[in-house]
Amino acid sequence: MTAPGRVGASPNRVGGIGRVTGAQAYLADLRVDALHARLVTLDVARARILGVDASAALALPGVHLVMTAADLPQPVPRFGPQREDRPVLAAGETTYHGEPVALVVADTKDLAERAAALVRVDHEPLPAVFTLEGALAPGAPLVQDPASRPGDPLATTNVLKEHRVGWGDVDAQAARAHVIVEGTWTFPMVTQFAIEPHAFMAAPDGDGVAVWSTIQHPNWLQRVIAGMLRMPLSKVRVHAPDPGGGFGGKQHAKYEPAVVFAALRLGRPVRLVLTLEETFQAVRRAACETHVRTGFAEDGRILFQDVAADYLIGAYTDIADRVVGKGSYPAAGPYNVPAVRIVARSVLSHTVPSTAFRGFGNPQVNWAVESALDEGARFLGIDRLELRLRNLARRGDRFIPFDTPCDGDWADVVRVAAERAGWGTPLPEGHGRGIAFGIKSGPTTGLSYSIVRLLVDGSVVVYAGTSDMGQGARTVLAQVAAHELGAPLDWVTVVMGDTAIVPYDQQTSASRSTVLMGNAVLDACRKLQAQLASMAARVHGVDEAAVSVDEGVVTLPDGRELTPLEVLKAGLGRLGGELIGVGESRKDAEPDHPLGGAPAFFEFNCTVIEAHVDEETGDITIDRHVTVSDVGKALNPLQVRMQDEGAAIMGLGHTLMEQYLFDGTGRIRNLGAIDYRIPTSMDLPLVVESEAVEHRDGPGPYGAKGMSEGALLCVAPAVASAVHEATGATIRALPLSPERVWHALQARGSDAR
Amino acid sequence: MLIELVVNGAPRAIAVEPHHTLLDVLRDDLGLTGTKECCLVGECGACTVLLDGRIVDACLVLGVEADGLEVRTVEGLARPDGTLSALQAAFLDKGAVQCGFCIPGQLVSAQALLDEHPHPSRDEIEEGLAGNLCRCACYEQIFEAVEAAAAGGPSDIDATPLAHATGARDTGSRSVEEGLDQ
């Protein structure tokens, strides 16, 4: 039995009490005497800005500022994690529906809203591209000025970048293939829809600036603001209160720079809380069209994968091109495939800039490639599970030849999932099962520092720059410290989200924090243990090398066991004080690697779905959803379950119901919660089961791997596979809305498969 | 306009703008920020409160409509002695809280459900919480929490700020005098 609060136990969430009493202060809850800002946007996809008349807005008493690009340093500052292409405010042209033209600042929310409506933007609509077909058509309007892409042979197209990876001879394998499956699968534009809309605040702070943001990466934001203002990093203080959900959408800066410029200009705090509609116009996932050719031998061995994926990214790069490159890279899946050719393109369009979203570009291609495996299995008459197992990489296999070898016992994961789901057992009439495997590369680089202070009374303060956006990082990091230092969990405080206090952390993304920040906290704790050993040796006059410290027990050479507190009391003496450990966890870049570094771990998941379909309406009922992940070690098993089941249900969103809809001019038609549906308590599978396979074989503390994205990867192909088994209908487009399924049911018979 | 209402048991008289919603009044005028703002169209349920015992989306009710009524928000769910209600405690025990942003609304809806059906079926729970979106999708754990709360079991989790400082653990701290020798 694991002691409460230690690693492997599931204590109540650290910070949980504030979340059930309403005391937890999210950014919009902070009581700060700030002016209120509001965005001015245009109801068109793309327009040339001819002039802005703010006189009526500024005539309202209490309106302090209507800031446009003209009020900013010239040329208008631009920023972005990959390319600095996003202007602080629209510069000359709006390039997507919702791009802000101006920021209005007033005494109250009401006034800011009224004033924003009074700002007249004289504009001329311009032709826009908002589909892959439109963006790739010859002569299509260019989303970005070719001059901004010097030396780039693709600069006169809307293809921002082409990513190629592969090995083996695809053509030679194709010549000997027994069966080749070929098809195109589409994945819609969906949005993160954190329940907390994005919010930002800024204020002059002595000779610097303070910025508050719902951001996942406070240190990235600090760098963006400091660079733009040419201030030392030390003069930019980023406060990042725990976000109310992030899912990738809150990784990178959006409107913080505009709010900073406004606050510095006015010399007063300014806050901007987006509406949900504006949040939809700020972040989304890239849509994707994936063309797959998969060749099989007669015995089901995969001979080649030939994958061409076009991702529809937005008007500015954000982190989207990295999503495309990294997300498509493992497109051949967790299988040993002798020949692979993957070509993925980032296609610019006049749409909301796409950014990171749980799964980071993998769900789009996994939907296609796993579906192709299903079709191959059917042609060959081989069980879908069996076909996958025949090809599945085993531990140590270099399934991507130049990369991290298979780092788990993935067949065990599959076995657990299959047993739980009763794979192969008879089903009720009209029901079908589907299965899919999924893989995602973990972080390719990383740098996390942590400071851990062991105070004189044995309590502990952990400083960690991770953002706890719901994944429970605060709890897990506290558990690590409690475990190593022998403190009760509620004597551990984890300080996050303030760049003036908390040491540098690269980012909270790629399921990295338990591994990378966890290792930094562990390193700091181990250094504290060494200090305790040294202190105990000094106090008791024994050889330091003979003192051991393990999980909060200090053992002297004669076998006497002391608590850290006993050592501290004697060792610190009358002045008191504390011990300070500084931990570091680093994963350096590898310049020659296609991704800039080999992944620290793989997230592997197997999902099995049982479903049936209402033949009258096309409505899918998920009878059972089994999701099993390789997590290395569950530091907090309940949180692991919450994360995986949450990811599974989030995956049902893009599988069954979610998508942006556009009108004929590129405006989003379904902004907001009424017309954009996400899973509710009424949309759940009848049974959800999750399990974590733990072989303590990850690079994180106690063998942990990152997790919580894997469970999202397999949902769509597994559901479509179950629908096919239940109905015989083949569907290659998401979401599997009742309308789409109904049409597919009508088309059966004409479908050769 | 001056309105009088009872908020979490305390009578309040407050001047409100006639076009402000109850959500605006709670958050901006009364400083009760536990009730959250998200969709503002009555779909997400983050702003769910009890108005005279009935669940409403505070974003769809004008502040003036609450005149003379009793409002209960997430801040009013804990017991008078500061301990968490059985429902709040169950949300923590069952792992029903991830980011937490939707949780105030979930708790208020669940409390209303339990007030009406002390032992709800799974279907009744799903139906009762259908108006509260959770993007972390902790639904299963939320259902389990509601069932656990319905099954009883008093909470002993103290929500008051210094609750955890009262532990009778040897802290190793020395007397004040000792610390003053400089």
Tens-place pLDDT, residues A286-315: 999 999 999 999 999 999 999 999 999 999
- How far is A600 from A445, CA to CA, in rounded Å? 8
Length of chain A: 753
pLDDT tens column, A602-658: 999 999 999 999 999 999 999 999 999 999 999 999 999 999 999 999 999 999 999
Which of B140, B160, B166, B180 to mutate to test binding with chain A, by most A CBs within 10 Å of its CB? B140
Q: Closest residue of B to A22, CA-based?
A: B34
CA atoms within 13 A on the CB side of B2: 2
pLDDT, one tens digit per residue, over A238-254 is 999 999 999 999 999 99
Per-residue pLDDT for A230 more than 80?
Answer: yes
What residues contact residue A275 under an 8 Å CB cut-off, 6+ apart? A197, B40
d(CA A331, CA A361): 10
Q: How many beta carbons lie within 10 A of that of residue A563, not counting itself?
A: 17
Q: Do B33 and A471 touch (CB under 8 A)?
A: no
- Chain B residue numbers with beta carbons less than 8 Å from the beta carbon of A715 are none
Q: In this structure, how many other beta carbons lie within 10 angstroms of the beta carbon of residue A267? A: 8
Record: contact B98-A642, CB cut-off 8 A? yes
Comparing CB atoms, the residue among A195, A457, A488 nearest residue B172 is: A457
Residues B39, A672: C-beta atoms closer than 8 Å: yes
Residue A516's Cβ-count burial label (10 Å; 0-12, 13-18, 19+) is buried
Q: What is the mean pLDDT of residues B114-136?
A: 97
Mean pLDDT lowest among A167-181, A412-426, A712-726, B158-172: B158-172
- Does residue A194 have a pLDDT over 90? yes
Distance (Å) from the alpha carbon of B34 to chain A's nearest alpha carbon:
4
- For residue B158, the model assigns a pLDDT of 65
A 99-128 residues inside an 8 A Cβ radius of B: 109-110
How many Å lie between the alpha carbon of B60 and the closest alpha carbon of chain A?
14
Q: Do A25 and B33 touch (CB under 8 A)?
A: yes
Question: Using 50, 70 and 90 to split pLDDT, how confident is the model at A222?
Answer: very high
Q: Do A193 and B98 touch (CB under 8 A)?
A: no
Model confidence pLDDT, tens digit, residues A356-383: 999 999 999 999 999 999 999 999 999 9
Query: Residues of A numbered 672-711 whose beta carbons fall under 8 angstroms of chain B's beta carbons: which are they?
Result: 672-674, 678-682, 684, 688
| Euclidean distance between the first and the last CA atom of chain A, given in angstroms as a whole number | 52
Q: Name every chain B residue with its beta carbon within 8 A of the beta carbon of A17.
A: 84, 92, 157, 159
> Does pLDDT of B84 surpass 80?
yes
Q: Is the pLDDT of residue A73 over 50?
A: yes
C-alpha distances in angstroms, A730 versus A182, A651, A719? 13, 19, 11
Residue A750 confidence (pLDDT): 62
Task: Sort out which chain A residues have CB atoms less than 8 A from B39's CB and list them.
Answer: 276, 672-674
**Residue B160 pLDDT grade (very low, low, confident, very high; cuts 50, 70, 90):** low
- Mean pLDDT, all residues of chain A: 97
Q: Do B43 and A674 touch (CB under 8 A)?
A: yes
Which of A638, A646, A674 is facing B136, going by the closest CB pair?
A646
Q: Does A180 touch chain B (CB under 8 A)?
A: no
CA angle A149/A155/A161 to nearest 5° reads: 90
Instruction: Judge: A20–B17 Cβ closer than 8 Å, yes or no.
Output: no
Q: A139 pLDDT exceeds 90? A: yes
Which A-chain residues 287-346 have CB contacts (< 8 A) with chain B?
none
- Is residue A526 packed enough to be buried (19+ CB in 10 Å), middle (13-18) or exposed (0-12)? middle
Kindly state whether A482 is in contact with chain B, defined as any CB-CB distance less than 8 angstroms: no
If you measure CA to CA, which chain A residue comes closest to B142?
Answer: A681
Task: Provide, as residue numbers in chain A, all residues whose Cβ is less than 8 Å from the Cβ of B135.
Answer: 192-195, 245, 247, 650, 678
Q: Which tens digits make up the pLDDT trace of B2-13?
A: 999 999 999 999
Which of A273, A638, A678 is closest, CB to CB, to B135? Answer: A678
The pTM for the full model equals 0.96
User: Rounded to a whole number, what is the distance in Å from the CA of A120 to chain B's nearest CA?
Assistant: 25
Say which of B17, B33, B136 has its CB closest to residue A29.
B33
Say yes or no to pLDDT of A55 above 90.
Answer: yes
Q: Phi and psi dihedrals of A364, rounded to 5?
A: -60, -50
Question: Mean pLDDT across the stretch A448-474?
Answer: 97
Closest Cα in chain A to B171? A457
CB-based contact B28 A109, cutoff 8 Å:
yes
Q: Convert the pLDDT of each residue in A158-190 to its tens digit.
A: 999 999 999 999 999 999 999 999 999 999 999
Contact flag B99-A197 (C-beta cutoff 8 Å): no
Instruction: Quote the pLDDT of residue B155.
Output: 54
Which among A187, A379, A193 has a CA at the least distance from the CA of A299? A379
Q: A748: pLDDT confidence band, cut at 50, 70 and 90?
A: confident
pLDDT of residue A80: 98
Least confident of A107-111, A395-399, A577-581, B77-81: B77-81
Give the nearest chain A residue to B21 (CA atoms). Answer: A110
Helix (H, G, I), strand (E, B) or coil at B142: helix
The per-residue pLDDT for A5 is 87
What's the pLDDT at A4?
A: 81
Interface list for A 486-515 with B (CB within 8 A): 488, 490
B175–A contact, CB cutoff 8 A: no
Model pLDDT, residue B166:
39
Cα–Cα distance, B168 to B165 (Å, whole number): 9
pLDDT digits (tens, 9 = 90+) for A695-712: 999 999 999 999 999 999
**Residues in contact with A66: Cβ distance below 8 Å, sequence separation at least 6, in sequence order:** A40, A52, A54, A57, A58, A102, A103, A104, A105, A115, A119
Q: How does pLDDT run across A539-571, given as a tens digit for each residue?
A: 999 999 999 999 999 999 999 999 999 999 999
Q: What one-character-per-residue DSSP string does A237-250 give?
A: EEE-PPPS--TTTT
E strands, chain B, are: 2-7, 10-15, 48-51, 54-57, 70-72
- Taking CA atoms, A219 is separated from A198, A211, A222, A474, in Å, by 17, 11, 5, 18
Facing residue for B139 by CB, picked from A31, A647, A684: A684
The answer, yes or no, to whether residue A277 has pLDDT greater than 70, is yes
Q: Which residues of B touch A456 (CB under 8 A)?
A: 172-173
Please report the number of interchain residue pairs, chain A to chain B, with beta-carbon separation below 8 angstroms: 188
Q: How far does B57 lie from chain A, in Å, by closest CA?
A: 14
HEC sequence for A505-573: ECCCCCCCCCCHHHHHHHHHHHHHHHHHHHHHHHHHCCCHHHCEEECCEEECCCCCEECHHHHHHHHHH
